[in-house]
Amino acid sequence: MLESARSYPITAMARVFTRQASIKSVGNRLLVEEYIRKHPEVVQVPIKRPLFILGFPRTGTTLLQNLLSLHSERRALQFWELTCPAPLLPDPEQDRAKRVAICEQDLYWANKVCPEMPTLHDVRSNTAEECWPLLSVSFAALNTDISQGLRNYGSWLLEQDTDWVYKEYKERLQLLLSQTPADQLVLKCPEHLWFLDSLLETFPDACIVWTHRNPFDCIASYCSMVSLNLRLVWSGYDPLALGEHITRRFHQGVRRAMAVRERLGDEHFFDVRFADLVKDPLGVVEKAHAHFDLPCSEAGRQAMQDFLGSDRKDSRGKHRYDAARYGLTHDGIRERFSDYLEHFGIS
């Protein structure tokens, strides 16, 4: 990753960020390995039928994760524990406070640098978030490519055997479950699309909720969102090149995932169309429960209704973007993703 960063004319701020992110990943890796060495029982913690929510960014994965985790027997992973997975202090309450404080300090500076981001995706220390930070501890996060522009690194990663990455990822989940137990984890990360074979090799009883939306909308929205990062990484960037790169990466993701699904069958999967989720989120969640034979209590239903009635920072304004700025056309995307659109009946 560092070699890739050095090969691009990135800004001085981006070099500092990449260096600090790498130091944080190495530090987290050492802390996790040392904790497991001292507490080998951690890797015996069972992970039963984990729920994975995957799909393109901007397809409702955040909403689904929040709704599905609002049941007493399940939990999602909060941002503070994803970014600092190993305990730092022996006392649990003091340890949590310290790790939350570290996370909030990081978020403070991130929001200073990019103040628009909370209106697109409201991230706080205690919100449920994507689990790619656990992959970054193995230096195997595709986010470094699609969000930060290190394309050579992404191309290299997509050629690797990532079974070992997911084995380590599982150990980090076990570590987090050992601290805050739950019968079932609810995890979310678009990156799992690209590495679905390794995910199912590691979690053969996984329950996968795959969200679907017209790629034109997803790619245009995502390009707009990651442009906030790229203006800092590159100071300037070519929006047409960005549109082509994200389109290519997203196409690789669905192509790889569909190949895995064709080989293994539909048993692990429940498909959710974005339009259905927007229209009836509770109905979609009820169907997911029925599909995987998951319990859904009245308390859980009430919690979901309360969540849908709450105010969120990222729901106050509509995310506006110009697809033409990124060279995107409906016909071009429809032609490129024709197999995906036809297979899942997406209009």
pLDDT by residue, tens only, the chain of 347 residues: 667 666 666 777 777 778 888 899 999 999 999 999 999 999 999 999 999 999 998 899 999 999 999 998 999 999 999 999 999 999 999 999 999 999 999 998 888 777 777 777 789 999 999 999 999 999 999 998 998 888 999 999 999 999 999 999 999 999 999 999 999 999 999 999 999 999 999 999 999 999 999 999 999 999 998 888 777 777 678 899 999 999 999 999 999 999 999 999 999 999 999 999 999 999 999 999 999 999 888 999 999 999 999 876 555 445 678 899 999 999 999 999 999 999 999 98
Could you give the CA distance from residue 262 to residue 114 in angstroms, rounded to a whole number? 41
Radius of gyration of the chain (CA): 20
Prediction pTM value: 0.93
Q: Are 258 and 196 in contact (CB under 8 A)?
A: no
Find the length of the chain: 347
Q: Are 214 and 336 in contact (CB under 8 A)?
A: no
Running DSSP on this structure, what letter comes out for residue 77?
P
Mark 12-43 as b/e (b = at least 16 C-beta within 10 Å): eebeebbeebeebbeebbebbeebbeeeeebe
Q: CA-based angle 132:133:135, to the nearest 5? A: 65
Q: Is 324 helix (H, G, I), strand (E, B) or coil?
A: helix
Could you give the CA distance from residue 37 to residue 20 in angstroms, rounded to a whole number? 26
Which pLDDT score, from 0 to 100, does residue 93 have?
A: 96
Could you give the CA distance from residue 76 to residue 303 in angstroms, rounded to a whole number? 15
Q: Helix H segments across 137-214? A: 143-146, 151-157, 163-179, 196-202
Could you give the CA distance from residue 82 to residue 123 in angstroms, rounded to a whole number? 12
Amino acid at 262: E
